[in-house]
Amino acid sequence: MGLLILVVSVLLLITGFVIWISISDYAPPKVEPIQVNQLQPNSHIQSSRMHLATWNIGYAGLGSGMDFFYDGGKKTKDTEKQTSANLAGILNILKKNESIDIWLLQEVDKKAKRSYWKNEPEIIQTEMPRYNTVFATNYKVPFVPVPVTSPMGEVEGGLLLLSVYTPTLCRRHAYPAIEKWPQSLFLLDRCFIETRVPTINGKELIVINTHNSAFVKDQALMEKELAVIRNLMMTEYLSGNYVIAGGDWNMNPYDFEPAADYNGHKFIAADVKIKKGFMPGDWQIVSDNDAPSNRHLDEAYVKGKTGATTIDFFVLSPNIKLNKVITVDLGFEFSDHNPVFIDIELSGMN
């Protein structure tokens, strides 16, 4: 009888927990406007030349000494001291590169156990007053119960865009859910940020900050996400606008091959790739094949031993010229991703 009572009690506890999580489930609309935190006066793009960068900062918790349970490791978080050191390092990189016009950041925690409750968007905004900022939530769960021995706990985080220009409109676009219930209750609600900035020639620059699904081996599932972002990109370009999409795609470009020795890193291809026909042939998928943008988290990072790949890159519309793209190899010191920088020119601005 005692065992029966215990089993029933556990089942009731699990049922109650799932009901609570289901009621608390973050369920944003497919498209919703999001607020611009305006730190600088209204401005529009007057120069044809621009510099952008994308960086998944791994919530300052996935530095070179970390492994992570979702990727075959064991840990859910680093020490508070190391997390603070990682965040300081990330801020230092951002400050050293204030010539960048627009930063696209992913995995920026707002309130989470794994990052010791640091409000990272607010910290970055305070330290980077040159930029207007836009934040979109893509992970909001009151309690992630895995791994059982050391649960991840509460998580609230998302995408952060920093811009020296003032957007006239920003929107959060939800990607279709590709995970089934109840797993979907505890995973990210994937999305991208659409940001619109006027140019001096009467057009608009559409900048998209994306973070696509991870740990997906089924190409067809990823195609569902790509269809959503592709539709917006094509619509805006055919309307005469400039379009840049960048971020953590969690996929290799279709033709990606590392150059030389990949700066001493061990290349392992991603499970899925963006197909060649993702965008028409006059669009550019822009990545740097000299160094990786991401490393595996099954172990603490060891250069040349730990797997690495390139899944952070940009897609440019045909009316944008690429001057240079470079992945800055930081040795994954502060994050499991390296930042990627591009130097571009908007055609027809003069």
Instruction: Give the pLDDT of residue 231.
Output: 98
For residue 132, what are the β-bridge partners? Answer: 163
Contact 149, 122 (CB under 8 A): no
Contact 172, 209 (CB under 8 A): no
Structural tokens at position 36: 């611009």
Segments in the chain below pLDDT 50: none
pTM of the complete model? 0.96
Q: Where are the domains of the chain?
A: 27-346
Phi, psi dihedrals of residue 160, rounded to the nearest 5°: -130, 130
Instruction: Give the pLDDT of residue 16.
Output: 63
Instruction: Give the pLDDT of residue 7.
Output: 57
Instruction: Kindly report the CATH number that applies to the domain delimited by 27-346.
Output: 3.60.10.10
In terms of DSSP H, where are the helices of the chain?
2-24, 80-96, 120-127, 219-238
Instruction: Give the pLDDT of residue 40.
Output: 85
Instruction: Give the pLDDT of residue 229.
Output: 98
Instruction: Give the pLDDT of residue 185.
Output: 78
Report d(CA 47, CA 276) in Å as an integer.
32
Diameter over CA atoms, the chain: 83
One-letter-per-residue 3-state SS of 65-103: CCCCHHHCCCCCCCCHHHHHHHHHHHHHHHHHCCCCCEE
Instruction: Give the pLDDT of residue 246.
Output: 98
**Residue 327: CB atoms within 10 Å:** 22
For residue 307, what are the β-bridge partners? Answer: 266
- Torsion over CA of 9, 13, 18 and 24, rounded to 10 degrees? 150
Instruction: Give the pLDDT of residue 221.
Output: 86
Contact 208, 229 (CB under 8 A): yes
> Of all residues in the chain, what percent carry a pLDDT higher than 70?
93
Report d(CA 310, CA 287) in Å as an integer.
8
Strands (E), the chain: 31-33, 36-37, 49-56, 102-109, 132-144, 153-163, 169-174, 191-198, 204-211, 242-248, 266-267, 284-286, 294-295, 307-309, 312-316, 320-327, 340-346
